[in-house]
Chain A
Amino acid sequence: MPTIEHNGKSFEVDEDGFLLKGDDFNQEWVDYVKGVEGISEMTDEHVKVIDALQEYYKKNGIAPMVRILSKTTGFPLKRIYELFPSGPGKGACKMAGLPKPTGCV
């Protein structure tokens, strides 16, 4: 599996650019994903979504369903797409260091 170097840190990722080890997550990772996902500037709202995802994942072992993410952050799905153009799965979960979404996607 490929390794990505960014700002002196290295990350093990899969072919879609998701972290293979959630423990590798750090600010450099956020900064790197920001670039590839077409996010010009990190705002408090971005951070709120990332934090909500990580908190839910730590507690439950799964990524939250979209409706739960909307409810806990207060952002409707439309707003989440404005923040993360690739959407909550490919965009936000990747940035938060969660496993790649599976199933028939």
Chain B
Amino acid sequence: MGYNPDKPMDGRISDLGPPHYEKFFPPVIKANKGKWLWHEITQPGVLLHKSETGDEVYTVRVGSPRLVSVEYIREVCEIADKHCDGFLRFTTRNNIEFMVDSKEKVQPLLDTLTSYGNKYPVGGTGAGVTNIVHTQGWVHCHTPATDASGVVKAVMDELFDYFTSMTLPAQVRIALACCLNMCGAVHASDIAILGIHRKPPMIDHKRITGVCELPLAIASCPLGAVKPAKAMVDGKEIKTVKVTVERCMFCGNCYTMCPAMPLADPEGDGIAILVGGKVSNRISHPKFSKLVIPFLPNTTPRWPETVAAVKKILEAYAADARKYERLGDWAERIGWEKFFEKCDIPFTEKSIDDYRLAYDTWRTTTQFKFTSHIK
């Protein structure tokens, strides 16, 4: 039955939830669920899992741009039909995994993937750089300070060799969010790329009455910079808000709540780089990433400054960190002053926390190292 707009509730099906995941298990996964003994990475992008029943599963991990067309998905399905009996999965970092149940089937699959050129790059395993978790950017969102897909493509092009190899001390997770809503993983990633604003919102008094719930805009401000105010519009006094510019740190929360307070600005907006976050509990506890570069411009379409900054940090880490050491572990071991020196990043006052619980982040010890990179 087709949808009838005159009777929208007729024959309406709802609250089904997603289909049960077991329906989409490859047979070998279904048969060995909960029985896996060990696994190994046979080569970058290829994993082997061994079951107590003796069964083997070879997984081939492939990079994807996350934002894909139906044509792309159909092509992925074709590959899965040809080699994996029609089964495949996506990882939590939006890579694609093709699974086969014997070693002989791996090479033909790899050959098929290679035949597409770099469209389906095999990699993303072990101590390398896997896919970048990212957001919508200028493709779809209304609050971004930078683009997502464009920056991700530029960065991954530069770091491509790290995707297809496993040469780093530990895996490096890179994430991007196009505003500090931080959709995704930037607050807890080894290297995080974050869109930021540098100008206060512009208030459109003409529209504000109809489109804003003023108390929400006022309550949305983390610094109490938005205050109720009155303004004259067409000779009539209306209720509106004003922004204390000296208190505003350009988070954009008020624009999220109130469409009449836009703050995006081509020159003001750009990118901040944060580093040192992680979510695993391996050896050290999970960490938040910390701000190290306060501003890089939005230089479309290749963001050369951002790409260079990410690469520099990654290479300094790769050259200096010990095996198994995540970027944050490394920075904490050598001390953040040494991190700034080794990565040749000028330290600015923007990296000094000044928000509420800031005190704990300052140095309350005489233990520090002299550094020399800033004259």
Contacts and interface: CB of A to CB of B under 8 A. Distances in A.
Interface of A: 14, 19-22, 38, 57, 60-63, 85, 98-100, 102-104
A22 B213 CA distance: 11
Task: Across the A-B interface, give the 5 residue pairs with the lowest CB-CB distance, nearest first.
Answer: A38-B8, A62-B213, A20-B210, A21-B210, A62-B215
B57 interface: no
25 contacts: A14-B211, A19-B210, A20-B210, A20-B211, A21-B210, A22-B209, A38-B7, A38-B9, A60-B215, A61-B213, A61-B215, A61-B239, A62-B214, A62-B215, A62-B216, A63-B213, A85-B9, A99-B211, A99-B212, A99-B213, A100-B211, A102-B212, A102-B257, A102-B258, A103-B256
A67 B235 CA distance: 39
Contacts of B207: 20
A99 B210 contact: yes
Nearest to B207: A20
B181 interface: yes
Nearest to B214: A61
Contacts of A57: 213
Contacts of B210: 19-22, 99
Nearest to B5: A38
Contacts of B258: 102
Nearest to B183: A104
A103 B216 CA distance: 10
B215 A102 contact: no
A59 to B, nearest CB: 11
B259 interface: yes
A61 B209 CA distance: 10
B305 to A, nearest CB: 30
A21 B259 CA distance: 14
A85 B8 contact: yes
B256 A104 contact: yes
B257 A103 contact: yes
Contacts of A63: 213
A20 B213 CA distance: 12
Contacts of B212: 99, 102
Contacts of A104: 181, 256
A4 B7 CA distance: 22
Contacts of B211: 14, 20, 99-100
Contacts of A14: 211
Given A61-B239, A99-B210, 9 more contacts: A20-B210, A21-B210, A22-B210, A38-B5, A60-B215, A61-B213, A98-B213, A103-B216, A104-B256
Interface in B1-25: 5, 7-9
Nearest to B213: A62
A100 B216 CA distance: 13
A62 B212 CA distance: 8
A88 B142 CA distance: 24
A21 B207 CA distance: 9
